Chains A and B, each alone.
Chain A
Amino acid sequence: MSFLDTVRIALRALVKNKMRAVLTIIGVVIGIAAVTTIVSIGQGASQLVSGEFEALGTNVVLVFPGQTRRGGARQSGAPTLTAADAEAIGTDCPAVLAASPIVGTAGQIIFGNENWNPKQMQGVGEDYLTVRNWELEAGGFFSTNDVDASAKVCVIGQSLIPELFRTVNPLDEMIRINDVPFRVIGILAKKGANMVGDDQDDIVLMPHTTVRKRINGSPLDNVSMIMVSARGTEQMGKAAKQIETLMYERHEIGPSEEPDFSVQDTTEIAATLGVITGTLTLMLSAIAGISLLVGGVGIMNIMLVSVTERTREIGIRMAMGARGRDILRQFLIESVVLSCIGGAIGLLLGTGASMAANLLINAYKPGTDWPMIVSIPAAFVAMGFAAAVGVFFGYYPARRASKLDPIDALRYE
């Protein structure tokens, strides 16, 4: 019997018992739908994570102030990094594209009758935008001169506009930051939320000198951290090495001494996050896989019932010259057709579910822009899995059918 004939017979047998077929495939439908959804959301998450790292500034290396020893007491986060360190890193390390010191602060901004406490208020260097791979939407950024002169100028993020300025064009307006008047000289391009959902556009950037002297009022020359970008991803390791060597030299740290700074490579964080999302996806897929297994057992159950019910049909076919393998193939294909139909429906449902999840996430966290991914290979894998379930759980009933004795089968009532 040809393959097509067998498929046709299988389809007809299923159509004869539509309700039963539908109930049988529900297990497979749910299993495949769950796997598809979870894999799709998982891939979206990991793409989001890697996208975040690109948005953070391509190939960013962070230098944090480390421990210092003062009279035997160890302190972490001690004021050991200076703006001069940042400048040296920017000029002396060949693998470094740009470096910017960062001085954190917090406070209130007042414009007219409005006030706002932005999430991030940072003093940065003139190369900050290069480091973070960030564009300006309007105006300009502060220059070396502005930094040297501790000029009272600032650049604001998009989220401040609706809070403070409403319909007014913020450029060249004067705002008060912790009671110090600043002129707005630039507006940053929109960046969106980062991976933990924080709005990155809720930011004010000022020269780090200005923040230190006029807002923090600190007499020290220290910075919170130094943000460095390497010349390409493959250069990151090299950049980190060069920074370390340079800093050992500048801070006169002996080879046996503990450094007073630490260098953090963002690829490590990205890799760790990737592993976490990967593990989560795998775990959830395994749970979804269990429902596939249950679906498979459902198919086996129904195929056994079907074989018993159709014993006489099997006898007739055998009397007409069907061999054991013809019967085996007929029932095997029937169960594979069953599970593949379930797989196809599950794939469609899963795609729909991941679209819905995507919409929900994006609606709940505006600006997240969670990517929607339904990969073709994953779809093929899912279908292959469904077919495998059909073969695996259909084999035993089919084999039982093929081993029937023709005389007993013909007599079966």
Chain B
Amino acid sequence: MALIELNDVRRVYDLGEVKVHALRTVTRNVDLGEYIALIGASGSGKSTLMNTLGCLDRPTHGSYLLDGEEVVTMSRDQRARIRNKQLGFVFQNFNLLNRTSALENVELPLMYGPKIHARERRDRAMEMLEKVGLADRFHHHPSQLSGGQQQRVAIARALVNRPSILMGDEPTGNLDSKTSREVIDLFRELNDEQKITVILVTHDQNVARNARRTIVLRDGEVVEDTPDFMVAKAALEYDPLVAG
């Protein structure tokens, strides 16, 4: 059984006068331990697909089985539970809580999970900060950290509940090339050593190249799904109007 099974997933935004088909139809499987890059031009539906996979959004049609459980029919609370337990998020703008220490930011998912002792919560958060190399900065607020450090805090936060999937929405979008490299290496390491499934939406070719599988979207449909980045790149740059 695959970790993720998408079957004819569609997402239509009803804006009254017009209906926007963000996802026309997507049928795809993802196995445990994969490392996937979702690429596509803006408006291709990659963010919608990401939000759907992240249980933040619900498709208007189709079926999404996560670990064998149907997500589409779940209530808000059930999806919140899934996000807490199974998924970790990393965002382009880090999305850390301001004026809250790095340690407390990392503790956040543990607060919404099953009740654990404050002491244990702190220890686990500290352990995660150590893993991303920021143990000595645990009491710093996000404003006192560099972009790369902030993103590493965000990664620690995403992983503290030991999720099976790590999701990144342009995780290197706000970082310079050097810190991007560090973050990419960290993703790779997590995937290699801990078998965490990584799914990233990205514009950054360096990030996409690092993935083991690349899915290319255009107009709400998958146009390429390949382990070879060069093939994906060609698909991305292929312009149906020019070719047509």
Contact = CB atoms under 8 A, between A and B. Distances in A.
Interaction A to B: yes
Nearest to B91: A410
Given A319-B95, A321-B113, 17 more contacts: A16-B99, A317-B112, A318-B56, A319-B54, A320-B84, A320-B108, A320-B157, A321-B80, A321-B84, A321-B85, A322-B80, A323-B77, A323-B81, A324-B80, A407-B56, A407-B57, A410-B56
Contacts of B108: 316-317, 320
B67 to A, nearest CB: 16
Contact of B95 (A12, A322, A323, A410): A410
A73 to B, nearest CB: 89
A121 to B, nearest CB: 78
A326 interface: yes
B79 to A, nearest CB: 9
Interface in B107-152: 108-109, 111-113, 115, 118
B88 to A, nearest CB: 9
Interface string A321-336: 1111110000000000
5 contacts: A321-B81, A321-B109, A323-B81, A407-B51, A407-B57
Main secondary structure of the interface of A (DSSP, over half): helix
Contacts of A5: 111, 118
Nearest to A1: B111
B83 interface: yes
A410 B57 CA distance: 12
B56 A319 contact: yes
Nearest to A410: B95
Interface of B: 51, 54, 56-57, 76-77, 80-81, 83-85, 89, 91, 95-97, 99-100, 108-109, 111-113, 115, 118, 157, 161
B112 A326 contact: yes
A406 B84 CA distance: 13
A325 B89 CA distance: 21
A65 B193 CA distance: 109
A326 B115 CA distance: 13
A1 B96 CA distance: 18
Contacts, number: 60
Contacts of B97: 313, 316
Contact of B76 (A12, A16, A316, A324): A324
Interface of A: 1-2, 5, 12, 16, 312-313, 315-326, 406-407, 410
B111 A319 contact: no
Contacts of B80: 318, 321-324
B91 A323 contact: no
Nearest to B100: A12
A324 B81 CA distance: 11
A320 B109 CA distance: 5
Given A16-B99, A313-B97, A406-B56, A319 B83 contact: yes
B71 to A, nearest CB: 14
A317 B95 CA distance: 10
Q: Which of B99, B112, B115, B161 has the most chain A CB within a 10 Å cutoff?
A: B112
Contacts of A316: 95-97, 108
Contacts of A325: 77
A410 B169 CA distance: 12
Nearest to A326: B112
Given A313-B97, A321-B81, A1 B112 contact: yes
Contacts of B89: 319-320
A320 B89 CA distance: 8
A312 B91 CA distance: 12
Contact of A320 (B57, B112, B115): B112
Contacts of A324: 76-77, 80
Contacts of A322: 80, 112
A208 to B, nearest CB: 82
A325 B81 CA distance: 12
A410 B83 CA distance: 14
Given A16-B99, A406-B56, A407-B57, A323 B76 contact: yes
B81 to A, nearest CB: 7
Contacts of B83: 318-321
Contacts of B157: 320
Nearest to A324: B76
Nearest to A5: B111
Contacts of A323: 76-77, 80-81, 112
A72 B77 CA distance: 91
A323 B76 CA distance: 7
A317 B83 CA distance: 11
Contacts of A407: 51, 56-57
Contacts of B51: 407
Given A316-B95, A407-B51, A321 B112 contact: yes
Nearest to B77: A323
A320 B160 CA distance: 11
A247 to B, nearest CB: 80
B115 A2 contact: yes
